Amino acid sequence: MYEFKQFSKRIVWVLPFVLILAAVTHFFHATGRAISLTLLVLAGQILFIFIIGKIISIKERTKATLVSGAALSKSGNTRRSIVEDFVKKYAIRLDYKQIDLIVQASYSSPEWEKEIRFMAKDYNMINEWYLGETGWLHIYLQAIKNITVTSDFEMQYKIVLDAFTQIINEKFESEPDIDHCIRLINRKYLAYFDEVTFMSLCSYMKKRGYSFLLPANPGIRYETEMELLMNRYRG
């Protein structure tokens, strides 16, 4: 959903050029008018995608205001307290500097403010935090040691995706099992992955078309069992 919203923002910039081209081709012979009509249809589709993206953004902002049941305090101490309590409760390894970065970013970014609202919620299991459209960010905050936080949420997504892409490009099939994969990643990237975060990462990247091979664990009797393991943490 996040990727669709970003796509809808980018594609709308093409709209003026499509309309200009449609107007120019209209004055040519029949072939030009046919092309013009096709371009007008394309322009309508671009506008439709942009409107849908806007509607989704409005709905998400409305939903964000309801996450904690009340307006999020403007107080930096209150926001910092929410993040610190969440970090302590679920053993998330963010240091004070990283917490401050998140709190400061929440004042200029509605997406980061929304993330603090999510931290104000109660979860029965930390796995529930990894679900939803920003599960990629939650995995990153939980499992990566030297995180980078920016108030530009689109840039934040690129930073996380770059980090995940490096990890997923490792030769997992050369490892004897998932535990060895996790130890390899944690050692090489100074990370804190466990089975939940690692398989959530694999599921997330697989859904986005990334191709990689997990180890053929001798303890897994059927090929489908590896897929079941990934499905367990599918967001």
- What confidence tens digit (pLDDT) does each residue in 166-191 have? 999 988 888 888 889 999 999 999 99
User: Which is more confidently placed, 201 or 24?
Assistant: 201
Q: Is the pLDDT of residue 210 over 80?
A: yes
- What confidence tens digit (pLDDT) does each residue in 17-44 have? 778 887 878 777 667 777 888 888 888 8
Q: What is the pLDDT of residue 38?
A: 84
Residues contacting 11, CB < 8 A, separation 6+: 46, 49, 50
User: Which is more confidently placed, 74 or 104?
Assistant: 104
Q: What is the pTM of this model?
A: 0.64
Q: What is the pLDDT of residue 66?
A: 44
Going by C-alpha positions, the residue among 102, 94, 194 that lies closest to residue 145 is 94
d(CA 194, CA 95): 19
Among the ranges given (24-33, 49-58, 59-68), the one the predictor scored with the smallest mean pLDDT: 59-68
User: Span 142-160, mean pLDDT?
Assistant: 92
